[in-house]
Amino acid sequence: MCDCLVALAPATGGPFTLFAKNSDRPPTEPHDVEWSPARRDRELVRATHITVDGALSDTLGCVLSRPRWCWGAEHGVNVAGVAIGNEAVYTTLDPRNAPPALIGMDLVRLGLERGDTAATATQVITDLLDRYGQGGSGHDETVVGGQRPYWSSFLVADPTEAWVIETSGSIWMTERVDPRGAAVRAISNRTTIPEFDRVHRHPRQAVERLVDPRWHASQRVLAHRPVDRDQLVAHLASHDSCGDPGWSVCMHVPGVEATTASMIAELRADGAAHRASVLVGHPCENDYVEVVVGVPFPTIQSEAARST
């Protein structure tokens, strides 16, 4: 489970985009926030389950929020001011039948490393989906007791625009967030692009109880103008969006799901430094640490990570 939202410059009232995401995972999965410097990987890259071709040019340095067991990232922001987050979604196509391939978190990291704009990162992700597909567990099998695969949706943003990508296996659809329209967008653990949702949403997914209350809470936050960092901090720590107990934006479902990491990124359109406020654990219990994107920092580890 996760929640992700973006407000472009017309909605923030400043020369910047605000991007925010909570990562919800099994409570005992250790989570790290780390600086990943640029590198040259022209040959092959080992992702979580498979190897993929390297980039045609050097990768971009990124702030990555990453479950320690996997190569990919739940969310992050790169030196070009591109932020990406993903969500688990369930569709009419059963992910348990898919062979090992890329998982959503791999695609987040590859998009950040190879995309210098939101549009380019979106193209990177969809090209990789076409070539390699999705498949394999999206959770640490030693923690959850076996494979738990899922498909992903993505929110991709930069200082001036944003895109939504929704998937079902290798099938995908994109939607541009219009900066001249609402200039805001929220995604959660369901398909939200109307045409894609009509065709692909799993008919038995309990979105009304477990997803829509959180998604609608994000939409309400984005309706208040200007959208600012304080609103997003309060929203990501909130518990008033439950359909069922514990299934809130800041998630507390003992033994099942918990918010394990959070990020708010300020993506500047005026040449100022891009910044990210990051934490591991529950946003209602922990303080954000602000980092300047491009400046290395010590890895931030969850309590679970430090005890392993």
What string of H, E and C letters represents the secondary structure of the chain? CEEEEEECHHHHCCCEEEEEEEEEECCCCCEEEEEECCCCCCCEEECCCCEEECCCCCCCCEEEEEECCCCCCCEEEECCCCEEEEEEECECCCHHHCCCCECHHHHHHHHHHHCCCHHHHHHHHHHHHHHHCECCCCCCHHHHCCCCCCEEEEEEECCCCEEEEEEECCEEEEEEECCCCCCEEEECCCCCCHHHHHHHECCCCCHHHHCHHHHHHHHHHHHCCCCCHHHHHHHHCCCCCCCCCCCCCCCEECCCEEEEEEEEEEEECCCCCCEEEEEECCCCCCCCEEEECCCCCCCEECHHHHCC
Position 5 pLDDT exceeds 50: yes
Instruction: Mention every residue, 6+ apart, whose C-beta is less than 8 A from residue 127.
Output: none
Q: Do 240 and 248 meet the contact criterion of CB atoms below 8 Å apart? A: yes
Q: Do 26 and 67 meet the contact criterion of CB atoms below 8 Å apart? A: no
Residue carrying the six token digits 């609103």: 231
Assess whether the previous peptide bond of 226 is cis (omega < 30° from 0). yes
State residue 305's pLDDT score. Answer: 42
Averaged pLDDT, 207-211? 89
State residue 303's pLDDT score. Answer: 73
State residue 10's pLDDT score. Answer: 94
Residue carrying the six token digits 């799901």: 257
Q: Do 33 and 63 meet the contact criterion of CB atoms below 8 Å apart? A: yes
> Any idea which of 4-13, 50-59, 223-232 has the lowest mean pLDDT?
50-59
Position 95 pLDDT exceeds 50: yes
State residue 43's pLDDT score. Answer: 83
pTM: 0.96
Position 223 pLDDT exceeds 50: yes
> Any idea which of 76-85, 200-209, 297-306 has the lowest mean pLDDT?
297-306
**pLDDT tens-place string over residues 131-181:** 999 999 998 877 766 678 999 999 999 999 999 999 999 999 999 998 888
For the chain, the structural domain boundaries read 2-306
**pLDDT tens-place string over residues 247-287:** 999 999 998 999 999 999 999 999 999 999 999 999 999 99
Looking at the chain, the whole-number percentage of residues with pLDDT higher than 90 is 83
148-to-48, 131, 273 alpha-carbon distances in Å: 14, 23, 38
By C-alpha distance, which of 238, 237, 222, 245 is closest to 286? 237
Architecture of the CATH domain 2-306: 4-Layer Sandwich (3.60)
State residue 308's pLDDT score. Answer: 33
State residue 304's pLDDT score. Answer: 58
State residue 1's pLDDT score. Answer: 82
Rounded to the nearest 10 degrees, how much is the dihedral formed by the CA atoms of 88, 264, 282, 153?
0
106-to-133, 162, 201, 207, 260 alpha-carbon distances in Å: 11, 20, 23, 25, 18
pLDDT, averaged across the chain? 94
State residue 87's pLDDT score. Answer: 97
Helix 104-114 to helix 118-132 angle (10° resolution) is: 130
Give catalytic status of residue 284 as yes or no. no
Position 207 pLDDT exceeds 50: yes
